Amino acid sequence: MTSVRKVNSSDYDLVLPLFKGFATHTQVNPQDWKKIFHPIWGNQRQDYGYLLEDQGEAVGFLGTLYSNRSISGKQQEFCNLTSWIVKPEYRAESLSLLFPLIRCQDLTLTNFTASNRVIEVLLKLGFRSLEDHYRMILPLPFPSGSFELITDPGKIAEKLTGTDSAIFHDHKTLHCRHVLMSSPTENCYLVLNPAIKRNRPVMFINYIGNKDFFVRAIQRCARALCRQLGVQGFMIGGHSLAGKHLPLALRVKRRHALLFRSKNVSPLQIDTLYSEIQVLGLKPV
């Protein structure tokens, strides 16, 4: 008979055989899987997911990455779903891992790397799509401006304050890159993840610290930033721009939608930080 229980930090070895059969297993370092079973960010809930067991054997797992974010001056709790794995013969019980989270009405749930099959299930359970398209920023020959592009983490840390500084310190050891776009009068902090689009290396932008400055500057900085990061363009979700227009940015359909479920937070207030993208180094598509 199967049962569902919360995962604790000693369950890694029990769950590891499931990870070895997971579709993204070859992308993930085993040491990164371990991160799911321990606190990653300060003040987060000491819950690491739910385990489906059958006579002591792990037959299903759903990981949970909790974080607390300040949204419009109010603390909101987020939970990024990761690594939903169930052995084929137990798939009928998959939802038993998710239902405890669905019942938490004040919790904002996110899933940024779901397969199309999982997306169909989550949409039926009240999840919504942040977007199904993104903008592709190419290194076009725009006139450059008086911008400085800082990619050295130590130098970036010296210049950040407030929320940007907290985000930097929460992500500085994870799988992401940090950039500070700077002018004589203002800065814009970016957190990016490597991605592949049409067999070309690009960067996916998870977070924009100063959206107004970003929209004014990014296309004038794109060529120089591509050279510094060794990529051929930048992907950004349309919702991340808060309705702001980027001239000449291509609108491209996503392979998989970004999903969320919340009664407290709007799509424009959600980014893709504090997620398995940075913890496991998964490539956004």
State the amino acid at position 17 in one-letter form: P
What's the chain's average pLDDT? 92
Beta partners for residue 7, in sequence order: none
* Residue 101 vs residues 29, 129, 214, 251, 272: alpha-carbon distances, Å: 27, 18, 35, 34, 19
Boundaries of every domain in the chain: 2-130, 134-255
126-171 residue pLDDT tens: 999 988 788 999 999 887 778 899 999 999 999 999 999 999 999 9
- Which pLDDT score is estimated for 101? 97
CATH topology of domain 134-255: Aminopeptidase (3.40.630)
| CATH code for residues 2-130 | 3.40.630.30
DSSP code for 275: S
- Which pLDDT score is estimated for 64? 97
Q: Is 2-130's fold the same as 134-255's?
A: yes
Alpha-carbon dihedral angle through residues 8, 81, 76, 179, given to the nearest 10 degrees: 110
With a CB cutoff of 8 Å and minimum separation 6, the contacts of 190 are 178, 179, 180, 181, 205, 207, 208, 209, 214
- Global confidence as pTM: 0.94
